[in-house]
Amino acid sequence: MRYSTIVVDDHAIVRRGIVQVLNEHPSLDIVAEVSDYIQLKQAIKKVAQIDLLIMDVGLPGKDGIEILKLIKEEYPKVRTLMVSMYPEEQYAVRAFKAGASGYLNKSSAPERMLEAIDLILSGKKYVTPEIAQALVDNLSSPQVSQPHERLSDREFQTLKLIASGKRLTEIAEIMMLSPKTVSVYRSRLLEKMELSNNAEITHYAIKNGIV
CATH of residue 61's domain is 3.40.50.2300
Side chain identity, residue 56:
D
CATH of residue 152's domain is 1.10.10.10
Q: By residue range, what is the domain housing residue 184?
A: 147-207
With a cut of 70, say whether residue 182 has pLDDT above it: yes
What is the total residue count of the chain?
211
With a cut of 80, say whether residue 8 has pLDDT above it: yes
Split at pLDDT 50, 70, 90, the class of 24 is very high
The reported pTM is 0.74
The reported pLDDT for the residue numbered 85 is 84
Q: Are residues 72 and 156 in the same domain?
A: no
Give the total number of structural domains in the chain.
2
pLDDT tens digits for range 64-111: 988 998 899 899 999 999 998 876 766 788 888 889 999 998 888 999
Helices (H) then strands (E): counts for the chain: 10, 5
